[in-house]
């Protein structure tokens, strides 16, 4: 991320006025990168630090929310401590669109393996994720994904950055799989990291194992903003 010149990485934002307001959960993690990517995708990003920032219903304060990458244990602890877990669950049940990347994906999972003792998720997507699935090693790798539903094409694959990422072990019938890692990829995770589900959607909820906001990949945010404005 070129913090001094974000416009070098993202295209110009849409004109003001018609922009949806999208919160970025700002308890911990890569909040600023998501805010920049949302702005580039035509949204008005706002930070969400306390329960009052969430509003009582979808559309009241927020038209959508991003749960960023970072550390899901810390976010879970703070969500619980600040009394935000139940209000957030209620908003998602009421249809607030949400996008979770990496730690945010873990938070959106109905079921998760490898959580810390007492760690709660927000839930919403009928899937089981495995935390830190790709192995701890230097803990990061990058891969170009074939993900047409996220705007990728053969000539412009989606550049995905994985940092101590989870993968999705299994999904329910209503969950759409949007991207998997290349089949046959070796890797350090249990049973190999090839052919693993790394992007999913269930209705207004979107989640990726990787961080499009790191490194200037704005197409996932474009898709999410389109979901928020009911264009996708
Ligand atoms: N391993 C982290 C967790 O469990 C997620 C890493 C990330 O978001 N980059 O929360």
The CATH number of residue 128's host domain is: 3.40.50.880
**144, pLDDT greater than 50:** yes
List Cα–Cα distances, 174 to 19, 143, 170, 171, 201, in angstroms: 29, 27, 12, 8, 9
What pLDDT does residue 45 have? 97
Number of domains forming the structure of the chain: 1
> How many CB atoms lie under 10 A from the CB of residue 86?
12
- Pairing between β-strand 158-163 and β-strand 140-145 as defined by DSSP bridges: antiparallel
Q: Is residue 4 part of a domain?
A: no
Look up residue 75 and give its two tokens.
């976010």
| Residue 188 annotated to the active site | no
Assess contact for 215 and 34: CB atoms under 8 A. no
Give 177-218 pLDDT, tens digit per residue: 999 998 765 555 555 777 899 999 999 999 999 999 887 888
pLDDT average, residue stretch 5-10: 51
CA 79 to chain centre: 17
Q: Ligand 1 center to residue 189 CA distance, Å?
A: 15
List Cα–Cα distances, 2 to 6, 67, 97, 101, in angstroms: 6, 22, 28, 20
| Residue 102 annotated to the active site | yes
CA 68 to chain centre: 6
Q: Is residue 191 part of a domain?
A: yes
Look up residue 140 and give its two tokens.
């990061």
Q: pLDDT confidence of 18, banded at 50, 70, 90?
A: confident
What pLDDT does residue 2 have? 44
Q: Is residue 227 part of a domain?
A: yes
Ligand 1 probe mutation, 24, 27, 71, most atoms within 8 A of CB: 71
Q: Is residue 209 part of a domain?
A: yes
**1, pLDDT greater than 70:** no
Q: Is residue 10 part of a domain?
A: no
**32, pLDDT greater than 70:** yes
| Residue 169 annotated to the active site | no
Q: Is residue 171 part of a domain?
A: yes
Q: Is residue 6 part of a domain?
A: no
The residue range of the domain holding 160 is 17-231
Q: pTM for the full model?
A: 0.90
Residues within a 6 A CB radius of ligand 1: 69-72, 102-103, 106, 131-132, 163-164
Give 39-87 pLDDT, tens digit per residue: 999 999 999 999 999 999 999 999 999 999 999 999 999 999 999 999 9
State the catalytic residue, choosing from 33, 143, 213, 217.
213
Which residues, in sequence order, are bridge partners of residue 143? Answer: 160
Closest-lying ligand 1 atom to the alpha carbon of residue 162? 9
User: CA angle, corner 31, sides to 132 and 160, nearest 5?
Assistant: 50
Q: Is residue 81 part of a domain?
A: yes
Averaged confidence pLDDT in the chain: 89
User: CA angle, corner 24, sides to 214 and 28, nearest 5?
Assistant: 70
Closest-lying ligand 1 atom to the alpha carbon of residue 68? 8
What is the C-alpha separation between 88 and 96, in angstroms, rounded?
9
Q: Ligand 1 center to residue 229 CA distance, Å?
A: 28
């Amino acid at each position: 991320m070129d913090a001094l010149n974000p416009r070098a990485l993202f295209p110009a934002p849409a004109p003001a006025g018609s922009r949806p307001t999208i919160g970025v959960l700002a308890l911990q993690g890569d909040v600023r990168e998501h805010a920049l990517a949302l702005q580039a995708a035509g949204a008005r990003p706002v930070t969400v630090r306390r329960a009052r920032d969430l509003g009582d219903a979808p559309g009241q304060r927020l038209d959508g929310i991003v749960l960023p990458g970072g550390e899901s244990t810390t976010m879970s602890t703070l969500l619980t401590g600040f009394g935000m877990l139940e209000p957030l669950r209620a908003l998602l049940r009421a249809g607030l669109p949400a996008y979770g990347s990496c730690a945010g994906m873990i938070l959106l999972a109905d079921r998760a393996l490898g959580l810390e003792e007492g760690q709660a998720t927000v839930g919403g997507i009928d899937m089981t994720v495995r935390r830190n699935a790709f192995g701890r090693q230097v803990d990061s790798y990058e891969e170009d994904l074939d993900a047409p539903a996220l705007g990728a094409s053969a000539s412009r694959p989606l550049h995905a950055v994985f940092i101590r990422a989870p993968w999705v072990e299994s999904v329910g019938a209503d969950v759409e799989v949007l991207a998997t890692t290349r089949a046959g990829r070796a890797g350090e995770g249990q049973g190999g990291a090839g052919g693993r589900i790394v992007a999913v959607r269930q209705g207004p909820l979107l989640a990726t194992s990787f961080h499009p906001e790191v490194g200037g990949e704005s197409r996932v945010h474009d898709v999410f903003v389109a979901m928020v404005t009911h264009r996708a």
